[in-house]
Chains A and B, each alone.
Chain A
Amino acid sequence: MTDRCRALGWAVAAAVVASLAVIPAGGTQYVRSFFLLLFMYVTLAQSWNMISGYTGYLSFGHGVFFGIGAYTAAHLVTKFGWPFPLALLAAGGMAVLAALLLGVVFMRVRIRVAYFSITALGLNEIVKTLVVNNEWLGSSHGLTLPPLPYQWVLFYLLLAFAAASTLLMRWVDRAPFGLGLKAILQDEEAAEVNGVPTFRLKLLVFLVSAFFPGITGAVIAWHWSYIDPYMAFDLVISFDMAVMTVFGGIGTVWGPVLGATLMGILTETLWVKVPNLHGLIFGALVVAIVVISPGGLMEIGDRVRRSVAVRRWWPLVREGESV
């Protein structure tokens, strides 16, 4: 990519972020909420992408970290009187802790992807069951959350999360760290004997991939102003982040953004009336994508780019140049 192209890219990105930032000032409550949720989808998709796309360990129950974050913050504020900013950090911390406990056991060996996936799938359900059945944790009654004096901050927090997670992935993709992750994805054993500290990298990525859903959960909990286990640990959250990433382009930087934006728009506009229809169609889309174009929209974009007619005014980047 030429320097001019790169500068243009940054300018566009800045313009997009700036225009998004002024929405609360001008838009209605509905519009604000709409974009807020879009930012949530992008953040969650990127988080899923981090672990599932870049290491290949498909974390199908990843929404559990969202729920843990939501509940941690909710409890700290309502039961212990913590200030929200601190509770937010603690939410992230708790999610990371959970990921750490899981990770030190599961990532130390070259575990088969299917095993990890099935464990991840069950984890969401189990934590939900634990919360539902535990009085101290809140049980199924749920918690009502006091609105913040600065509720508008939630919008900007999520915008920041979306931007931060995307920028982080962009950096990871180009850095040696990302190279190591891709090597793990390709052939973990070969990576290990060539010096890649697979356990360390996998664990680190897993921790970060849990942090973002954790803090997002805390923020969204306040957006909802009420949480119960069925909302916070809704399987739909886990499904959505996976589907959006796969649809947009698993293992790429912009795939999750693309997928989350498109599918987020669809979800919030068309199908909020019939919630399960959206699940049905998303599921079918995932199957279609895996069969037709496993790399999602990004791969379709690549194929289009490679077609001769387009190549003249959108030259291919030569492989290996970004590293």
Chain B
Amino acid sequence: MTESPLLEVRRVEKRFGGLRALAGVSFAVRPGEIAGLIGPNGAGKTTLFNVMSGVYRPDAGQVWFGGQEVSHLSGHRICRLGIGRTFQAVRPFLDMSVRQNVLVGAHFGAADGGRRGLRERAEELLEFVGLRRKAGLPPRSLTLVERKMVELARALATRPRLLLLDEILSGLNPTEMAYATALIRKMRDEMGITILWIEHVMRALMSTCERVVVLNYGQVLAEGTPAAVVQNPEVVKAYLGEKRVKAGG
């Protein structure tokens, strides 16, 4: 059961001026798992994603992916190696068509970047997220959940081995949340993609993830199964004394 981890974060630090956003974070993500990353606001979760995806360079520590150190690689190199991500404030290319959005990922982000089969793959992904009929429209004219799906399809087009999802459920209604959560499971089960998922909608995250990492003040507070983490008194304290897990976010 001890396979080598797909992603390893080793004592990563990141400072912004006087603020220490990440103060020595270490954990690993195993291939094929759906892992959750939670923590109060300002804990450093998105900063960690930015370090992992190459948007930031860590001030100290390392990021290892697939047995290779990627700490100081540029974002597009990391993407080609197999890390994809979505953003907290959903950011598709607003004034290009949905199809073009996906094609960007397919052309540039996939390691093979293969000319052949590129368009077919794009169509498949559009089908997967349910946007085939709206493929010619710009995301500017789409709803929030549709924009999230555009971002997701674009990231999937880059053939990620690890997908970083940043609060993908925020702002969605229960039906949309269930839809998205089902997609997340499908991505792991059918496409073999490992998922690391930041989320505040606890119920969805806890019921989907096999393992959860809790971040607070830029450090790992706890790690373990959802059940274990929920009962950890430190974790409970970090969430300002909330004893009950909020339902539905």
- A/B touching: CB–CB < 8 A: yes
| Interfacial residues, chain A to chain B (CB-CB below 8 A) | 176, 179-180, 182-183, 186-187, 189-199, 318-321, 323
Within 8 A of A (CB), among B93-124: 93-100, 103-105, 107-110
CA distance A183 to B110 in the complex (A): 16
Number of A-B contacts (CB under 8 A): 97
Given that A183-B93, A186-B94, A187-B91 are contacting pairs, would A196 and B108 also be in contact in the complex, using a CB cutoff of 8 Å?
yes
B137 within 8 Å of A (CB atoms): yes
Given the known inter-chain contacts A320-B99, A323-B103, please indicate yes or no for A192 contacting B91, CB distance below 8 A: no
Name which of A176, A187, A195, A198 has the most chain B CB atoms within 10 A of its CB: A195
B103: A residues at CB distance < 8 A:
176, 179, 323
Known interface pairs A192-B74, A195-B109; A319-B97 also in contact (CB < 8 Å): yes
A252 to chain B, nearest CB (A): 13
Asked whether B108 lies within 8 Å of A193 as measured between CB atoms, the reply is no
Q: How far is the CB of A290 from chain B (nearest CB, A)?
A: 17
Q: State whether A176 and B108 are in contact (beta carbons under 8 Å apart), knowing that A192-B75, A319-B137 are contacts in the complex.
A: yes
B94 pairs with A192, CB closer than 8 A:
no
Chain B residue contacts of A192, Cβ below 8 A: 54-55, 74-76, 79
**Contact code string B153-166 (vs A, CB < 8 Å = 1, else 0):** 01101100000000
Give min CB distance, A107 to chain B, whole Å. Answer: 13
Contact B135 A320 (CB under 8 A): yes
Of A186, A191, A193, most buried by chain B (CB within 10 Å of CB) is A193
B96, A197: Cβ atoms closer than 8 Å? no
Q: At the interface, yes or no: B14 with Cβ under 8 Å from chain A?
A: no
- The minimal Cβ–Cβ distance linking A220 to chain B, given in whole angstroms, is 36
> Which residues on A sit within 8 Å (CB–CB) of B107?
176, 179-180, 195
Are B136 and A180 in contact (CB-based, < 8 A)?
A: no
Task: Give the residues in chain B near A321, CB-CB below 8 Å.
Answer: 136
Enumerate chain A residues within 8 angstroms of B108, measured Cβ to Cβ. 176, 180, 183, 191, 194-197
CA distance A191 to B78 in the complex (A): 13
Contact of A194 among B98, B137, B158 (CB under 8 A): B158
Given contacts A180-B104, A194-B79, A196-B108, contact A320 B87 (CB under 8 A): no
Listed by A's residue number, 10 A-B pairs whose Cβ atoms lie within 8 Å are A180-B108, A189-B55, A191-B108, A193-B85, A194-B105, A195-B104, A319-B97, A320-B100, A321-B136, A323-B99
